[in-house]
Each structure stands twice: as C-alpha cells, then as structure tokens.
Structure 1
C-alpha cells in the first residue's frame, strides 16, 4: 500500500467524524426545544458508519464513510409542566429524546477521532518530507 493512500484513508475518517460532530451539534441545539418543524418533538439522530474500499485495485485500502443518519426511535422525555400551552391533558410536555451527557461524550469521542486522523496525516507528511530530504543529500 502506498504511503499516499494514508491521506485518502485519514481524509475519509475526518469527513465521517465531521459529519458526526455536525449531528451531535444538531442534537445538542435541539435538546430543549419542545417542537420541531413537523410539530412533533425533535428526535435525536445518530450517524451510522461503514467501511468502504478506497480503490478498485487495492482491496486492503479501506476507509470509512457515513452510510446513514438515523433517528433514535426511543420515546420522548415527558416533562411535567401543566401551565405550558403544549402540555397534554395530564400536564406533560413531550420533549426531545436527546441525552445531553451522551451527546457530550459522543462529541468528545468524535473530536478526538478527528484529531487522531489529522495527526496521522501530519505524521505521513513528515515521513514523506524526510524521505525526499534523504534523496537530496
């Protein structure tokens, strides 16, 4: 496998983690919104990754891609607030099923994975530069 293939693999990982960070940001932004554009409570979204072959002629070069962004189908949180106009006959409001602690953990994991891929690209770049410097000496 070519050292240049490292950039493709790390780039695919960075793209996938960037999408994961965007989904986490969307979940956190809507964690306390009682309704969405559909009139129903916002449903948390999760990114689904899958392995993908980077090139036809090198099957060992496998990267990552986002295969889907799925909605969490768990029931909404019920919050007791009988004075809210969105409350049902029992005084409960259906709130988004976003767990802020899980989302923050997911955000930290995604940002560290993104940083690891960036570090891998920088290491590969340094190796290539040093290899070229050997040829100049």
Structure 2
C-alpha cells in the first residue's frame, strides 16, 4: 500500500470518526433534556458506518436510537411538566455513550497516527531524492 493510499483511507476514517464524535457529543449534551409528555423524548443519534470498495469508510446514515416515548420522570417543578408533574426524559445509558466516546476517540487518534506516518514516509522519500 502506497502512502497516498494510506492518506486517502485515513482521511475517510477521520471524517467518519469526527461525525461519530459529534453525534456522541450531541447525545451526551442532551442526556438530561426534558420534554413535555405530549411530545417525544430526545432520541440518541447513532452513526452507521459503511465500508467503501476502495478500503475507506463512509457514514452511511445517522439513525435515531432509543424509544421516542423515553421514560416518564416526576419533576413537578419543571415548567414542561404536565398536570401530574411528569416529563419525558431520554432513554439513554450514559455509560454506553461514554464507552462509545472512548472508542470514537481511539479510532480518530489511530487515523491521525496513520496520517503522520504517511507524512513521515513522504518526508523520508524526499530526503532520499535530495541526496
């Protein structure tokens, strides 16, 4: 595999992992978002990756996960609470979101390392050509 090919594949991986990190940040920021019982609860964003024929990876879609009904929570002081003092909260597991965040960060870091290695390979090749 050539250095240009490594850069191309790493670039697709960087893009996919950045999208995944953005979706996870959005999920974590909304883990405590209350909605009225008349509406749907916040649903987590799930990034679906798809392998490319050239070895790279793309974001196939961003799906919504979790139950739109969420979970009902008693919060009578919340301005969104119904007559019974209930609000809808997202049905998300913060531990699962944090575990996914670690995996997405590691994937992003690995892609950055591949990019650095390819750059070093180019620099070495240029030095050989100058000598």
TM-score, length-scaled by structure 2: 0.85
2:106 maps to what in 1?
A: 112
Give the one of 117, 123, 132 matched to 2:126.
132
2:44 maps to what in 1?
A: 44
2:12 maps to what in 1?
A: 12
Counterpart mapping for 1:5-84 below 5 A: 5-35=5-35, 39-53=39-53, 61-74=54-67, 75-82=69-76, 84=78
* TM-superposed deviation, 1:63: 0.3
Q: Distance in 1 between matches of 2:44 and 2:91?
A: 6
After superposition, the C-alpha distances for 1:56-76 in whole angstroms (9 at most, x for unaligned) are xxxxx3100000100114351
Q: Secondary structure at the match of 1:121?
A: helix
Which consecutive residues of structure 1, in runs of 5 or more, have no partner in the other structure? 54-60
Aligned residues: 129
Tell me if structure 1 keeps the 8 A contact 2:33–2:42.
Answer: yes
Which consecutive residues of structure 2, in runs of 5 or more, have no partner in the other structure? none
Tell me if structure 1 keeps the 8 A contact 2:40–2:70.
Answer: no
* TM-superposed deviation, 1:100: 1.5
* TM-superposed deviation, 1:112: 1.2
Q: Distance in 1 between matches of 2:66 and 2:13?
A: 27
> Cα RMSD over matched residues?
2.3
Q: Distance in 2 between matches of 1:100 and 1:83?
A: 24
* TM-superposed deviation, 1:131: 1.7
Q: Secondary structure at the match of 1:4?
A: helix
Q: Distance in 1 between matches of 2:33 and 2:66?
A: 17
